[in-house]
Amino acid sequence: MSRQQGFSFWVCLGLIGLILLDLWPSQGNAIAFWQSEIFLELRLPRVLSALIGGIALGWSGLMMQTLFRNPLAGPFLIGITPGATFGVALTTYLGSSLGLNETLSHIAIQPLAALGGAFLVLSIQLAIHKKLSQMHSLLLVGLVLGYFFGAAVDIITQTAQAQQVKQFVMWGMGSFDRVLLKELIPLLGATIMGGLILTYHRHAFNTYLLGDIHVESAGKSAKSLRNWLIVGSATMAAIVTAFCGPISFVGLIAPHISRKIQGTEAHQKNIFTTAMAGGLLTLAADIIANNTLENSTLPVNAILSIIGAPLVIWMLARKSG
Amino acid sequence: MISFRASLVFATILIAISMLNGCQNAREKSGPDDIVWIKNSHAQLFRIGLTKTDSFLEVYDAPNSMLSIGKFCWGSSSKIEGYQKIENRSKIVSLSAIHTGMLAELGLGKSIVGVESKQYIAHPAIYTSSLLDSVQELAPDGPIIPEKLANLKPQILIGYVFNIQEKSTIERIAKNHFLVIWSNNHLEPHPLGRAEWIVAMGWLLGKSKESTELFQGISKEYLAIAKQAANPDQGKKSDMGSNKSNKNNRPTVMMNIPYNGQWFVPQGQSYMSQFILDAGGIPITLQPEGSGSNMVGLEKALQAMQLADIWINTDNCNTRKCLTEMDPRVLNIKALQGNRVFNFNKKLNPNGSNSYWDLGCIFPNLVLRDLHKIIQNDTQSLYFYQRCK
């Protein structure tokens, strides 16, 4: 077994361990708990959404880093999550004002609005990236877009009713608790779609990392590859954001963990381990969120930010060094 | 040898301890030597004191806190060290619906010149009168508009601290122009404590006798209902029947609704838990101590609440359909299946204001009466509550 295979094996084992740990009852008989409605309707969807959400965000990050040929790209830092958040804020506010059905709004309209916001940000980033291709400009534009959409969300919440603000604030904390079993279908659908795009174009994406000239000389269209990367990364990030709230840093960190394990940027090697690393991060955050305090649940987003922020600073320091 | 830095840390700790000790004494020993403090029945965030010549009001930031957020006096003395003297009180700005309601209840509605937003005013003495037209809105859609407040030139502003920036803005405008009384009465853990603030308002605004009598009447009825609820066999025979679901034969009561997978579950010593205990029910809480609430995920919340007999305070959800649309997993809750879900929306005005939020605080006896009836399964003629259809 090679070093890479060894690491992959341990990540897999860790992921299975975390799944079991997250599914384990906090008290009482495990068999009885696994047969209860609480398990089937609440625990199972929560653990599955954390797992699928982590995989989707990991892949979304991998695709964005490929798209911008920049290891610091991730849904949160480049502004996709704030864009999706803006879409959700808009529908939360307009939903009840227009008398939209809550279930319809939750299952269809919010994800579509999040998707719209995500595509908008990604288009702006791409347009600017053509002119400013330095690594840090991507983050700066992401920061500026984050501020812009943050301000737009502030204006929306200022005019919203107290209930809508409450809904939106709770959504913003990020949680896998709110996901219903049936909502796993679109979540899983978007993740499978992203996974298929990554797997199908894995060799072409490797060439894309070398530059557009290499893609064209290999007889492929760089524009078409870019479109696939945009569709895949934005869809996965937006759907996870719509259903679970803004989940930060997973998309940025998971591909890095994977590359560290695999020792290569080759997509065929990183698809599986990025998914494992993403799932590992979100499941760990979910376990911490639900088990740190006996009578409270911590916000998943806060936990991931506490883990993620120092890691990003470390990565930036390493890159500049 | 102890380093300079260590000595500095040690000295800082000593100073902090002595300051804390000083604050502790401050609540007991402040004011003139001959001051007599009136004992409150339940309120913890204010106290009223008297001397032969003056009256005093001290306001605190939280229950059991030593930190005074306002010291006021009025009477014949020209100046008393450490206290702000109240002289004029005919133009009042009230930034909370509860205080507006209290002023109206004391017949001081005409003194109100400005409010936070008219859409929160529900007290019938203002809502249904021409007073509503003459009152200025100072924060109709968000933060307070400083120029509007300055132009209004009030003599007293009463409000609660909800935003530290806004607090400092108001205090800046108020400096040398009008008095600001911050009242965190929403932090009073006992319903009668919150209602007792009408006594403070009455003393402050020259209606001490009326306010004391009013509160005594409220308190008397509240305590009578609580006594009856505690000993149901001594009073009218209850009809709880099959709804008795625990060993104490008291129904369990759950509160609030989930927001995006998160549920705020009141703690055991909170305002609402106290209401339920006094009404003869058992509040479902996750933490017996504490007067706040626990934010928990749906799984933890539903594990605790699934067998609740009664569900109250469903916020903006007035129908069972709305509740299940919000999260279909609440369908398994016993109270929902047994059609025992109640919301406090019976006194909703066309402008969206709800009397529960002001009258309910001033008259907790009415809320307790409703809750006692709900627990007794006698849901006729409820005042604030109605069954979710």
Task: Looking at the structure, tell me whether residues B174 and B250 fall in a common domain.
Answer: no
Q: Is A247 on the interface with B (CB under 8 A)?
A: no
Chain A contacts of B294, Cβ < 8 Å?
A: 295-296
Task: Looking at the structure, tell me whether residues B355 and B260 fall in a common domain.
Answer: yes
Per-residue tokens: A6: 């060894």
- In total, how many domains does chain B have? 2
Nearest to A178 among B296, B298, B325 (CB): B298
Q: Is B329 on the interface with A (CB under 8 A)?
A: yes
Confidence of residue B198 (pLDDT cuts 50, 70, 90): very high
* Distance set, CA A30 to CA A35, A36, A39, B302, B352 (Å): 9, 10, 10, 18, 48
Task: Looking at the structure, tell me whether residues B279 and B372 fall in a common domain.
Answer: yes
In this prediction, residue B182 carries a pLDDT of: 92
**Mean of pLDDT values over B14-30:** 51
Range of the domain at B358: 238-387
Q: Is A163 on the interface with B (CB under 8 A)?
A: yes
Task: Looking at the structure, tell me whether residues B366 and B296 fall in a common domain.
Answer: yes
Nearest to B260 among A158, A178, A295 (CB): A178
Q: How far apart are CA A266 and CA A283, in angstroms?
A: 26
In this prediction, residue B248 carries a pLDDT of: 61
Q: How far is B37 from chain A (nearest CA, A)?
A: 39
In this prediction, residue A209 carries a pLDDT of: 92
Strands B310-312 and B252-255: parallel
**Mean of pLDDT values over A9-38:** 85
Q: Is B58 within a domain?
A: no
Q: Is B280 within a domain?
A: yes
Which chain B residues in 173-212 lie under 8 Å from chain A, judged by CB atoms? none
Task: Looking at the structure, tell me whether residues B243 and B156 fall in a common domain.
Answer: no
Residues near B52 by Cβ (< 8 Å), separated by ≥ 6? B34
Chain B contacts of A23, Cβ < 8 Å?
A: none
Q: Is B12 on the interface with A (CB under 8 A)?
A: no
In this prediction, residue B247 carries a pLDDT of: 46
Q: Is B9 within a domain?
A: no
Task: Looking at the structure, tell me whether residues B246 and B179 fall in a common domain.
Answer: no
**Mean of pLDDT values over B316-343:** 90
- 3-state SS, one letter per residue, for B165-184: HHHHHHHHHHCCCCEEEECC
Q: Is B191 within a domain?
A: no
* Distance set, CA A7 to CA A69, A252, A258, A272, A307 (Å): 25, 20, 10, 12, 21
Chain A contacts of B259, Cβ < 8 Å?
A: 166-167, 169-171
Task: Looking at the structure, tell me whether residues B178 and B282 fall in a common domain.
Answer: no
Q: How far apart are CA A233 and CA B295, in angstroms?
A: 32
Q: How far is B115 from chain A (nearest CA, A)?
A: 18
Confidence of residue A199 (pLDDT cuts 50, 70, 90): very high
**Mean of pLDDT values over B4-25:** 52
Q: Is B170 within a domain?
A: yes
Confidence of residue B23 (pLDDT cuts 50, 70, 90): very low
Q: Is B249 within a domain?
A: yes
Selected for mutation to probe chain B from A24, A36, A42 (highest B CB count within 10 Å) is: A42
Chain B contacts of A38, Cβ < 8 Å?
A: 299, 302-303, 306
In this prediction, residue B235 carries a pLDDT of: 47
Task: Looking at the structure, tell me whether residues B162 and B259 fall in a common domain.
Answer: no
Would you say B260 and A167 are in contact if contact means Cβ atoms under 8 Å apart? yes
Within 10 angstroms of residue A306's Cβ, the number of other Cβ atoms is 13
Q: How far is B260 from chain A (nearest CA, A)?
A: 6
Q: How many CA atoms lie within 13 A of B370 on its CB side?
A: 21
Q: Is A170 on the interface with B (CB under 8 A)?
A: yes
Strands B136-137 and B262-266: unpaired
**Cβ contact (<8 Å) for B295 and A296?**
yes
Domains of chain A with bracketed CATH? 49-320 (1.10.3470.10)
Q: How far apart are CA B376 and CA A55, in angstroms?
A: 51
In this prediction, residue B234 carries a pLDDT of: 58
Task: Looking at the structure, tell me whether residues B280 and B155 fall in a common domain.
Answer: no
**Cβ contact (<8 Å) for A167 and B260?**
yes
In this prediction, residue B140 carries a pLDDT of: 78
Q: Is B163 on the interface with A (CB under 8 A)?
A: no
Whether residue B125 is predicted with pLDDT greater than 70 in this model: the reply is yes
Confidence of residue A53 (pLDDT cuts 50, 70, 90): very high
* Distance set, CA B151 to CA A35, A137, B88, B183 (Å): 66, 47, 17, 23
**Mean of pLDDT values over B210-227:** 95
Whether residue A162 is predicted with pLDDT greater than 60 in this model: the reply is yes
Nearest to A175 among B260, B294, B326 (CB): B260
Chain B contacts of A43, Cβ < 8 Å?
A: 299
Task: List the single residue in B with minimal CA-CA distance to A39.
Answer: B299
Task: Looking at the structure, tell me whether residues B279 and B357 fall in a common domain.
Answer: yes
Per-residue tokens: A29: 């008989």
Which chain A residues in 63-92 lie under 8 Å from chain B, judged by CB atoms? none
Strands B84-85 and B310-312: unpaired
Q: Is B301 within a domain?
A: yes
Domain end among B183, B203, B226: B183
Confidence of residue B7 (pLDDT cuts 50, 70, 90): low
Chain A contacts of B298, Cβ < 8 Å?
A: 42, 177-178
Chain B contacts of A245, Cβ < 8 Å?
A: 260
Identify the three-state secondary structure at position A219. Answer: coil
Whether residue A58 is predicted with pLDDT greater than 90 in this model: the reply is yes
Crossing angle (nearest 10°) for helices A80-97 and A110-131: 150
Q: Is A159 on the interface with B (CB under 8 A)?
A: yes
Per-residue tokens: A158: 């200022």
**Mean of pLDDT values over A156-174:** 79
Q: Is B43 within a domain?
A: no
Q: Count how many pairs of residues, chain A against chain B, have C-beta atoms within 8 Å.
A: 76
Domain end among B160, B183, B206: B183
ipTM of the complex, rounded to two decimals: 0.74
Would you say A229 and A205 are in contact if contact means Cβ atoms under 8 Å apart? yes
Per-residue tokens: B74: 């009025």
**Mean of pLDDT values over B366-384:** 93
Q: Is A296 on the interface with B (CB under 8 A)?
A: yes
Domain end among B118, B153, B183: B183
Indicate the residue type of B129.
S
**Cβ contact (<8 Å) for A43 and B299?**
yes
State pLDDT tens for residues B31-61: 677 889 999 999 999 999 999 899 999 999 8
Confidence of residue B28 (pLDDT cuts 50, 70, 90): low
The CATH code of the domain that includes B347 is: 3.40.50.1980
Nearest to B260 among A41, A170, A295 (CB): A170
